[in-house]
A = this chain, B = another copy of it.
Amino acid sequence: MVGGGQLARMTHEAGIPLGLRFKLLSDTPQDSAAQVVNDVVIGDYRDLATLRAFARGCDVITFDHEHVPIEHLRALEAEGIPVRPGPDALVHAQDKGVMRARLTALGAPCPRHRIVADPADAVAFAAEVGGLPVILKTVRGGYDGKGVWFVRSPEDAEEPFRAGVPVLAEEKVDFVRELAANVVRSPHGQAVAYPVVESRQVDGVCDTVIAPAPGLPDELAGEAQRLALRIAAELGVVGHLAVELFETPDGRILVNELAMRPHNSGHWTQDGAVTSQFANHVRAVLDLPLGDPRPREPWTVMCNVLGGDFPDMYPAYLHCMARDPRLKIHMYGKDVKPGRKVGHVNTYGDELDDVLARARHAADYLRGTITE
């Protein structure tokens, strides 16, 4: 796996029972996954020679993030190294312009959008879709709200162009909530769909995920799952695909983003599904038969644990374990910095209010925003 973040850490964890030999390419020995994996290569994923050396002895390469240059992946593939998901799929997760064009061609519902040339063109786009505000996104390099601008005025439209990367304009969608439809697809073409979840963001960062999305009509849930399965098949995705969606007030869904790797909206599956997204991602990239994606409990909730003002989270960690013996804590081995994702908690049970309150309390207590 290329990339030493928490997704690689949790993928390794899920691979242990499968009897895997897991090899990691990590930026530093301190990275989240590098702390817990035996076979770690330290190196820069942007360097083809490093990737090539790393790939030696691997049966298949997969990714913790979407930042490996596509041309490097094509070079590895040309040398016979299986890369999953492959570059032809992954380009849609790397480049939002390519993604929007392809989804539109497939007839997948998207917000109105087009590539804009400069701030004036962005303002012109706004006029086409009913006026400001609109969303501008650099087509590459964004995550967790980075690379995304909420443009309220012509002046706001200038900043996104400063990076020198093409800029995609999208209408500001009036949505009632965000959903995620997560699926896993294997090279055989076997695919599984997890229940559609509700994803709540705070400041552009995933905060809470509720599985399944409360009150979502079966028909719309089925539509979202079918859409995600179709995107996975049409784009040739291998592994986990997260399709982030907007649910509109009139009961439609629109695709917001795609991610082709285990995804924050699927962390609930570690404790709430028969087979976790991490286990199924591994099974898919190795072309093993996929595991059952069904939920084990009526409700599962995930809350991210962000760093707060106190670098020492240990007393809070003790408190949360003692307060709720059913709490499932997942820490990433990262130093605490304000706003940094350092872990998540999962809770599950029969009553959504209770399950939500337990996860919320633990995440807030660990961050230090509450003290009782």
Q: A40-B38, A326-B274 are in contact. Are A12 and B19 (CB under 8 A)?
A: no
Look across to chain B and name the residue whose beta carbon is closest to the beta carbon of A293: B325
In the complex with contacts A36-B38, A38-B34, A325-B291 CB distance below 8 A: yes
Q: Closest approach, in angstroms, between the C-beta of A57 and any C-beta of chain B?
A: 14
Contact B13 A288, beta carbon cutoff 8 Å: no
- Cβ of A16 and Cβ of B38 under 8 Å apart? no
**Quick check: is A112 within 8 A (CB to CB) of the other chain?**
no
Given A35-B38, A38-B34, A283-B321 in contact, is the A19-B291 Cβ separation under 8 Å? no
* A291–B289 alpha-carbon span in the complex (Å): 32
Check A69 for interface membership: any CB of B closer than 8 A. no
Q: What residues on B are CB-neighbors of A10 within 8 Å?
A: 16-17
Q: Is A84 an interface residue (CB 8 A)?
A: no
Question: Of B19, B283, B329, which contacts A17 at CB under 8 A?
Answer: B329
Q: A367 at the A/B interface (Cβ < 8 Å)?
A: no
A291/B321 in contact, CB under 8 A: yes
Residue-by-residue, is A201-232 near B (CB-CB < 8 Å gives 1, otherwise 0)? 00000000000000000000000000000000
Residue A331 interfacial (CB < 8 Å):
yes
Sample 6 A-B pairs with CB under 8 A, ordered by A number. Answer: A17-B328, A19-B333, A288-B317, A289-B318, A292-B325, A296-B296
Given contacts A17-B331, A296-B296, 5 further A-B contacts (CB under 8 A): A9-B16, A13-B17, A34-B38, A38-B40, A288-B321
